[in-house]
Amino acid sequence: MDKQIKAVILAAGKGTRMKSNTPKVLHKIFEKPLLGYVLDNVKNIVNEAFVIVGHHAEEVTAYVENNYVAAKTVLQSPQLGTGHAVSMVCPALENFDGQVIILCGDTPLIKEETLNNFVEYHNSNNSDLTVMSTIFENPTNYGRIIREADNSLKCIVEEKDATQEQKAVKEVNAGIYCLNWSKIKPAFSQLTSNNAQGEYYLTDIISWGKKNGLNVNAYILENSDEIYGINSRHNLAEAAKIMNDRKLYSLMENGVTIVDPSSTWISEDTEIGADTIVYPATYIEGKNKIGQNCKIGPCAHLRGGVEVADNCKIGNFVEVKKAKIDHNTNVGHLSYIGDSELGANVNIGAGTITANYNPLTKVKSKTVLKDDVKIGSNTVLVAPVTINEGANVGAGSVITKEVPSWALALTRTPLKILADWVKSQSK
C-alpha cells in the first residue's frame, strides 16, 4: 500500500538540558525510548519514516535498526538547526511528490488519532503547508505563531528572537508539520541562519511559503498536553505522568478498577480486561495483556511480554516477565516468574522463583508448568524445566529435572526430631 506519505522525525539535537550521556530521544518512559513512541504513533499513517540522527548517532541508529526495520536513519553532522535537519532528506526524496509529516523525537505524547485529523485538515483545506499549533498559558521557550491582521499566518518567531509583544502571544508552534513536499522542497536551499541562535530554522518555511504564494495554514490542537516536549528531567517525569493518567483513565472507562491511581503505573502498551482490579503500588511496563476478573498487586511488577488469562491473581511483591499464564492461576506472594508458561488452575506458593538465567553463559531458559500443577512455597524451579499436568512440588524444593504428571517431587532433607534435646543442653 503506497500512501505517498512519509515521516521525518528530528532526533539529532543534543538535549543539553537533560544533563545526560544518553541521547535525549533514547530516554525512556515505561522502558520505551521517547523516539519509540513517535515512531509507533506514525507507523500506521506513513509508508516510510526517516529519523534524522546526529548527536550520539550510533546509539540512536542502533535503536532504530533493532526495533523499527521499516524506518531509515539519515545523518546530520554537524547539527545546524531544525531546518538543516530536514534538508538532510532532500537527496532521498528527490523525486518524491507526496506529503511529508515532520515531527520531533522528543514529543512522545502525540496521538495517532490527532495526526490523522491533522493530515485530514491539511487535505481538506488544500493546504501546501500546515503547522500544528496550540495555546499554552505559559508559552515560554516555544516558537510563537504570529498572525496577520486578518488572522492568516505570517510567521513563527522563536523565543530568543521574539520582541516583548511577540512573547505575549500564547499560540505556539507544536513542532509538527505537514507539507506537500515538491512545493516546499525549494525552501530548504533558501533558509538562512541570521537569527539569535545562528541556526537554520525549520519554522522559517512558514514565511517562505507565504512569500511564495502557497496555501499555509495552522491546525490548532485543543489538547495541548499532546505536544508536550521533553527538554529536561522535569519534563520527562511530567510526560510520564500525563501518559500514565491517560492510560489509567481509559482503563477505568473500560471497566478496570484502579484502587489508587496515584501509585499505579501502567504502560500504554498494556491491555487489561474488564472487572480486573489493580491494587496500589503496581508497576506495569512494556507490552502486556491481562484478562478479565484478575487481581493484580498490591506491589506487583509486570515487566513486559506478560499474558495473563481470565480469573488469575498476581499478588503482593510478585515480579513477572515474559510469561504466559492461563486462566484461574494464582501467583499470590513474593515470587519471580520469568520466561515461563503456566497452565490453567496452577497454584504457585509464596516465595517461588523461576531460576531462568545463567549469569555465566548469559542464557535464559524456560519453565513450563502444565495445567493443575501446584508448587509448594519457597521452591526454586531451575530452568529449563517442565512440570507436567497435575504434579505437585513440596515446599522448599529445588527442581532441576522434568516432573511427570500427577507425581510429587520433593528435594527436602528428612525432618529430624530430637526429643528433649534443648533440655539436655542446659546445665
- The residues annotated with a catalytic role in the active site are 333
Q: Which residue is nearest to ligand UD1 (CB)?
A: 143
CA-atom Rg of the chain in angstroms: 28
Among 29, 38, 104, 251, binds ligand UD1 (CB under 6 A): 104
If 0-12 CB within 10 Å is exposed, 13-18 middle and 19+ buried, where does residue 362 land?
A: exposed
- From 147-155, 222-230, 241-249, 292-300, span contacting Ca ion (CB under 5 A): 222-230
> Coil, strand, or helix at residue 335?
coil
Q: Quick one: what does residue 297 bind among ligand UD1, Ca ion, none, with the CB cut-off 5 to 8 Å set by partner type?
A: none
Q: Give DSSP secondary structure letters for 96-126.
A: --SEEEEEETT-TT--HHHHHHHHHHHHHTT
Output the smallest distance, CB 222 to ligand UD1, in A: 17
The residue (of 239 and 380) whose beta carbon lies closer to ligand UD1 is 239
Q: Which residues pair with 102 in a beta bridge?
A: 8, 177
Q: Are 50 and 74 in contact (CB under 8 A)?
A: yes
Among 41, 73, 82, 127, binds ligand UD1 (CB under 6 A): 82
Q: Quick one: what does residue 12 bind among Ca ion, ligand UD1, none, with the CB cut-off 5 to 8 Å set by partner type?
A: ligand UD1
Among 41, 76, 134, 276, binds ligand UD1 (CB under 6 A): 76
The residues in 135-174 that bind ligand UD1, with binding defined as CB under 6 A, are 142-143, 156, 158, 172-174
Which cell is 1 given? 500500500
The residues, ordered by sequence, that sit 6+ positions from 238 with a Cβ below 8 Å of its Cβ are 228
Q: Quick one: what does residue 202 bind among Ca ion, ligand UD1, none, with the CB cut-off 5 to 8 Å set by partner type?
A: ligand UD1
User: Is residue 134 part of the contact set for ligand UD1 (CB under 6 A)?
Assistant: no
Q: How far is CA 394 from CA 63, 166, 221, 355, 374, in A?
A: 45, 74, 60, 17, 9
**8-state DSSP, 282:** -
Output the smallest distance, CB 17 to Ca ion, in A: 9
- From 223-231, 254-262, 273-281, 347-355, span contacting Ca ion (CB under 5 A): 223-231
Among 73, 99, 203, 267, binds ligand UD1 (CB under 6 A): 203
Among 229, 291, 343, 376, binds Ca ion (CB under 5 A): 229
Output the smallest distance, CB 173 to ligand UD1, in A: 4
Element (H, E) at 39: helix 34-42
Distance, CA of 245 to CA of 261 (rounded, Å): 8
**8-state DSSP, 192:** -
Size of the site for ligand UD1 (CB under 6 A): 28
Distance, CA of 220 to CA of 119 (rounded, Å): 13
Q: Quick one: what does residue 63 bind among Ca ion, ligand UD1, none, with the CB cut-off 5 to 8 Å set by partner type?
A: none
Backbone phi and psi for residue 374, each to the nearest 5 degrees, phi listed first: -125, 125
The residue (of 83 and 229) whose beta carbon lies closer to Ca ion is 229
Is omega for the bond preceding 78 within 30 degrees of 0, making it cis? yes
Output the smallest distance, CB 357 to ligand UD1, in A: 36
Q: HSE (CB half, 13 Å, CA atoms) of 354?
A: 27
Residues 189-198: contacts with CB within 8 Å, 24+ apart? 189/87, 189/90, 191/83, 191/84, 191/87, 193/80, 193/81, 195/158, 195/160, 195/161, 196/158, 196/160, 196/161, 197/81, 197/158, 197/160, 197/161
The residues in 1-40 that bind ligand UD1, with binding defined as CB under 6 A, are 10-13
User: Is residue 212 part of the contact set for ligand UD1 (CB under 6 A)?
Assistant: no
Per-residue x/- track, 174-213, Ca ion (CB under 5 A): ----------------------------------------
Q: Which residues bind Ca ion (CB under 5 A)?
A: 229
Q: Which residues bind ligand UD1 (CB under 6 A)?
A: 10-13, 52, 54, 76, 79-82, 84-85, 104-106, 142-143, 156, 158, 172-175, 201-203, 229
